[in-house]
Amino acid sequence: MRKTIFLIVLLISTVKQSEAQFEENILCKSGHFVLGCNYLASNAGTQMWIDWNPEVIEQEFKRLNESGIDVLRIFPIWREFQPITAIRSRIIEYRFGENPLPDDRFGDAGVSEEMINRMKLLLALGSKYHLKFIVSLLTGHMSGRIFIPPAFDGQNPLTDPEVIQWEIKYIKCLVNELKTQPSIVGWGLGNETNCMAFGDISRSQAYIWSSIISNTIRSVDNTRPILSDMHGLSPEDSWSMFDQGEITDILTTHPYPLFTPYCNLDPINTIRPIIHGTAESRWYADLGNKPALVEEMGTLGPMICSNNIAAEYFRTCMFSVWANNCHGAIWWCNSDFTNVKQVPYDLFSTERELGLFKADGSPKPIVEEMKKFKTFYNSFPYPDLAPIKTDAVCILTHEQNQWANAFSSYILSKQAGFNLEYQYCTQKIKEAHLYILPGLGASSAIPNHRMEELLQKVKNGATLYISLDEGLLSDFESIAGLRVVVRESSYNTTSFSVNCSKLTIPANIHYQIENIGAKIISADAYGNPVFSVNNYGNGKIYLLLLPLENYLSNTSGCFNSSQSSPYWKIYSEIGKDVLASHIISKNQPLLAITEHAVEQDKCIAIIINMSPNTVSDKLSIMKGWTVNKTYYGKMTSDGDFLSVEVAKNDAIIIELLRQL
């Protein structure tokens, strides 16, 4: 019976997805960058709608506007905006405490008119200071605490039909009351609602709930994009970027290194944590086929790093997010909450000192970095960057640790000097000159029809790189030019060399190999092939018989060149053909370069130092191109070379022209 009711609710709430296009919306516009922060009033935090103080809010909005902030993400706390209780006896009656619901549109939805009026005042104050807003509508989870209306205590808000019925009423009421507010640029489903369920839910349940809420929003307002507001998505788990990309208009990442697997192994001002937000956002966007916004970002307080280091970290992140079309960076949060006494701040130390400003209103160093970036951005003639030049497609597969392999592949490609995009093994194979198939982990890793599609592209001239974890490939001899004599399951470490550099990778699977036509690039101490390349039609296939990417994701310090072996040289080897097509090339692995074609004969290059030390390099320029202008940073030109000295956690931005 409950299942039937649930499906009826779904059918009632389903509407045709709006055909409206959001390309010019500041959150969706390709190449555009918004700078923002998540907002909770400093005097009360999550209690701000109860301990209401518009004077504090206006003071903070003025301060945030002066800091270069474009967008604030705000949170109508569900418990406060729909404060209904359920009187359960022989009948069920919903009330505000003991008082009957009023006989008006607010009572029909169980929504507090007082809270709606407070929200309208907040939005008006924001407009006064030219701020735009993302409204995260169904905020029943915030900072580790659940804020569900008392009527639904003990019920699952993502699967219970009774709760969902009132969620629909709530969403319709809020959106209808607020949709005329011009400062709202997007609707969020609700802050991290995938943390709001009691216990696990299935992928189908997550899909249905997300569809109901999205379609309810669209039934009232289809003029604004809907943001997923989720974090921790994956291709195949309950909360999937495929599903969220189908249902919503903007995917969202909350890339806190402390809370994200493989991202908390190195100091926060080094390449792994810095590139985390960019890599995760591109992963979501490429697989989900929707823009992805860095909707929350932060260091989580002074025990992670000093305030000065936090500012340097965010400076690098801003350049990286912008250069790679991640649409914006929104800091968590506007203020410290060291003076706020209620939960979550009383319980969780990681919620108290996250702000741009201290509790007394004094700015932290990050505020100055925001101002500097915004001043540069506003003066830059191409703020909506042209699409990045991408060179490779990284294909993630079944039965592997997809994020571990995706993350390492992204970092290694940046270190080697090329840029990749992602896809999943079930999707039509994209066009590319280089394909990366990292960490194959099972016999069912990739459907055979997709593998055949991929191999046809190699026959037509593309390059394919495969690294093996515990996976099995059919037609192995034809693909690799190698023959397996015997396979052994035993945990051992293999050492080998690439371009005169010794590398060491542990693995659970080892092979004795006979060469039947491949070129052996590197072998282990016993002469057994480890890294090889085989001609395949008009293309070639590189094979690494070790789980490089998975190993690096789990190993601290391995991407910091001063502390580790240069594993990126494997990617330099597989990418040497695409690297030859770049206008500008580097030597230092801690510099990341993106190229953006403004016109046929004009290109913007962004060179980012992903390390806490000054990096010097001599960059090569393709013949026929020259530096026309430096927009940010300093460099000197010497014919076909550029001498750069990129300050720690900073960037250089130049314009290159082709000489006709």
Give the pLDDT band of residue 207 (cuts 50, 70, 90).
Answer: very high
Domain count, the chain: 3
469 lies in the same domain as 533: yes
The CATH code of the domain that includes 556 is: 3.40.50.880
Give the pLDDT band of residue 660 (cuts 50, 70, 90).
Answer: confident
* Bridge partners for 93 per DSSP: 87
Mean pLDDT of 87-113: 94
Mean pLDDT of 270-283: 98
pLDDT computed for residue 91 by the predictor: 85
pLDDT over 70, % of the chain: 97
Give the pLDDT band of residue 13 (cuts 50, 70, 90).
Answer: very low
pLDDT at 324 over 80: yes
344 lies in the same domain as 433: no
> How many of the other CB atoms lie within 10 Å of CB of 81?
26
pLDDT at 17 over 50: no
- Tell me if the bond preceding 333 is cis, omega within 30° of 0: yes
The CATH code of the domain that includes 370 is: 3.20.20.80
137 lies in the same domain as 286: yes
643 lies in the same domain as 528: no
613 lies in the same domain as 512: no
Phi, psi of 371 (to 5 degrees): -60, -45
Which distant-in-sequence residues (6+ apart) come within 8 Å of 444 by Cβ? 398, 399
CA 365 to chain centre: 24
Give the pLDDT band of residue 1 (cuts 50, 70, 90).
Answer: very low
pLDDT at 18 over 90: no
Whether 448 maps to a domain, the answer reads yes
Tell me the residue range of the domain where 126 lies: 2-379
Of the two residues 660 and 439, the one the predictor is more confident about is: 439
The per-residue pLDDT for range 530-559, each reduced to its tens digit, is 999 999 999 999 999 999 999 999 999 999
Mean pLDDT of 367-392: 96
523 lies in the same domain as 602: no
pLDDT computed for residue 200 by the predictor: 87
- Distance, in Å, from the CA atom of 613 to the CA atom of 646, rounded to the nearest integer, reads 9
- Distance, in Å, from the CA atom of 284 to the CA atom of 250, rounded to the nearest integer, reads 10
- Distance, in Å, from the CA atom of 193 to the CA atom of 278, rounded to the nearest integer, reads 22
Alpha helical stretches, state H, 250-382: 271-288, 307-323, 365-379
Query: Angle at CA 285, nearest 5°, toward 187 and 215?
Result: 35
Mean pLDDT of 47-62: 98
Contact 197, 145 (CB under 8 A): no
pLDDT computed for residue 640 by the predictor: 79
pLDDT over 90, % of the chain: 92
Phi-psi sector, 439: left (phi>0), alpha (psi -120 to 50), beta: left
pLDDT computed for residue 301 by the predictor: 93
Whether 386 maps to a domain, the answer reads no
Whether 42 maps to a domain, the answer reads yes
Domain boundary among 523, 555, 579: 579
| Token pair listed for 440 | 């194959």
> How many of the other CB atoms lie within 10 Å of CB of 639?
7
372 lies in the same domain as 422: no
Mean pLDDT of 199-219: 96
pLDDT computed for residue 11 by the predictor: 41
- Distance, in Å, from the CA atom of 444 to the CA atom of 326, rounded to the nearest integer, reads 32
573 lies in the same domain as 641: no
| Token pair listed for 474 | 């059919």
Which distant-in-sequence residues (6+ apart) come within 8 Å of 129 by Cβ? 61, 62, 64, 65
Whether 18 maps to a domain, the answer reads yes
Whether 286 maps to a domain, the answer reads yes
Whether 385 maps to a domain, the answer reads no
pLDDT computed for residue 25 by the predictor: 94
pLDDT at 255 over 90: yes
Mean pLDDT of 350-358: 95
Domain boundary among 351, 379, 407: 379
400 lies in the same domain as 373: no
Domain boundary among 531, 548, 579: 579
Whether 465 maps to a domain, the answer reads yes
Mean pLDDT of 113-141: 98
- Distance, in Å, from the CA atom of 82 to the CA atom of 485, rounded to the nearest integer, reads 67
Contact 216, 168 (CB under 8 A): yes
pLDDT computed for residue 22 by the predictor: 86
Which distant-in-sequence residues (6+ apart) come within 8 Å of 66 by Cβ? none
- Distance, in Å, from the CA atom of 497 to the CA atom of 521, rounded to the nearest integer, reads 9
pLDDT computed for residue 197 by the predictor: 82
The per-residue pLDDT for range 437-496, each reduced to its tens digit, is 999 999 999 999 999 999 999 999 999 999 999 999 999 999 999 999 999 999 999 999
490 lies in the same domain as 374: no
The per-residue pLDDT for range 588-630, each reduced to its tens digit, is 999 999 999 999 999 999 999 999 999 999 999 999 999 999 9
- Distance, in Å, from the CA atom of 418 to the CA atom of 577, rounded to the nearest integer, reads 10
DSSP string, 233-248: -BSSSSSBHHHHHHH-
Q: Is 395 exposed, middle or buried (0-12, 13-18, 19+ CB in 10 A)?
A: buried
pLDDT computed for residue 521 by the predictor: 98
pLDDT computed for residue 637 by the predictor: 82
- Distance, in Å, from the CA atom of 566 to the CA atom of 569, rounded to the nearest integer, reads 6
402 lies in the same domain as 342: no
The CATH code of the domain that includes 591 is: 2.60.40.1180
25 lies in the same domain as 159: yes
Whether 387 maps to a domain, the answer reads no
pLDDT computed for residue 258 by the predictor: 94
> How many of the other CB atoms lie within 10 Å of CB of 474?
9
| Average predicted confidence (pLDDT) for the chain | 94
